[in-house]
Amino acid sequence: MSPDNFSALLLGWAEENKRQLPWKETNDPYKIWISEIILQQTRVIQGTPYYLNFIKRFPDIITLANAAEDDVLKLWEGLGYYSRARNIHHTAKFIYSNFNGKFPDRYDEIIKLKGIGPYTAAAISSFAYGLRYPVVDGNVTRLISRILGIVQPIDNVDVLKRIHTFVFSAIHGADPAAFNQAIMDFGATVCTPKLPQCDICPFHSYCLAYHHDQIKDIPFKNKKPLKKIRYFHYFDILLPDDHTVLVQRSGNDIWKKLFQYPMIESDSELMPSDEIIYQCIRKIFTHSIDNSYMVKKKLVSKQELTHRKIVAVFYQITLTLPTKKINKGHYLVERKKVSNFAFPKIITEYLKIKDF
């Protein structure tokens, strides 16, 4: 199938199958950027309300740049991949400082922004400025690899280069924004990973994977390594004055800057020894707590991330003596105000079953 023929059939399909989405009705680079970042690793049905809430709370780059990072993370809560939110905030401040709050209008400037790769840069460039850069993501590589009948691993450099070359040729004579929107929509709604709608696909006469009965086998990826399992033991401190203790994650580990209960990580789901639990609790307070607490195991929860699996074990630690003397790095919080903080999903799910 030639790239020109592909482009003509794709745009013809798009004329009859336009999706009505809030970010499709604008050429504002800020709103396009936010929508594209939210939709990374997120389905449209889940991402749409987050997009609407985000734009309502931060309607422009200047508002976002001047916001507190904790406010941005809280609004992002539940979407996961929190580095996206931190990158958005960082980039907004960078644009505010270096471009007077105006989103750059050149591809080579856009792609240098933190958190923006070739796909997002192409989307912003084409939708906001009409620049001829094709979007190539998982949906697009799946579609093209099936049409071309590519049986080599899709993460092979030469295979990706072949797909990029085809798409670059296909967009050459088309309206960039219309082409990119069409190929994104088609991959998301017709040429899906499972149960693609081959019977209504305008490309099925040309699709080699369809004709060779290889739809289920293409695209093919090299086998991924097994996910590492990490075991987190969280301590939900119950203080007599209706307070609890939170800490903020730091470093370059997962969930950076999000809040959590004091915790320890171990190599199994088994409950840590009494001595380990005591030492963890002791680090929280500025004074001796002796044996003035009780430990009760409450819940085991699991969460799948891209490269690892988290097994979280929650414990309620009830202190029998009131105290407000805690060490630096810990936050004494009224239990009724805990929901104001941004947490990883695994803790948010725990909070849903709690009575605060």
Q: Which helix (H) or strand (E) holds 203?
A: none
Structural domain of 336: 228-352
Residues 204 and 299 in one domain: no
**Domain ends where: 178, 211, 244?**
211
- So what's the pLDDT on residue 292? 67
Could you tell me the CATH number of the domain that includes residue 15?
Answer: 1.10.340.30
The count of domains in the chain is 2
What does the pLDDT average to over 309-327?
A: 83
Q: How far is CA 16 from the centre of its chain?
A: 31
Residues tagged active-site: 36
Residues 8 and 113 in one domain: yes
Cis-peptide, bond into residue 219, ω within 30° of zero:
yes
The verdict on residue 222 lying in a domain is no
Instruction: Find, among 273, 275, 280, 268, the residue nearest to 234 by Cα.
Output: 280
Between CA 310 and CA 130 the distance in angstroms is 43
Residues 169 and 284 in one domain: no
Residues 207 and 232 in one domain: no
Condensed to tens digits (0 to 9), the pLDDT of residues 118-163 reads 999 999 999 999 999 999 998 999 999 999 999 999 888 999 999 9
Residues 260 and 324 in one domain: yes
Residues 145 and 68 in one domain: yes
The verdict on residue 218 lying in a domain is no
- So what's the pLDDT on residue 247? 95
Condensed to tens digits (0 to 9), the pLDDT of residues 72-103 reads 999 999 888 889 999 999 999 999 999 999 99
The model carries a pTM of 0.76
Mean pLDDT across the chain: 90
| Burial of 166 (C-beta count, 10 Å sphere; 0-12/13-18/19+) | buried
SS (H, E, C) 119-175: HHHHHHHHHHHCCCCCCCCHHHHHHHHHHHCCCCECCCHHHHHHHHHHHHHHHCCCC
The verdict on residue 223 lying in a domain is no
Condensed to tens digits (0 to 9), the pLDDT of residues 215-235 reads 999 998 877 777 899 999 999
Residues 111 and 246 in one domain: no
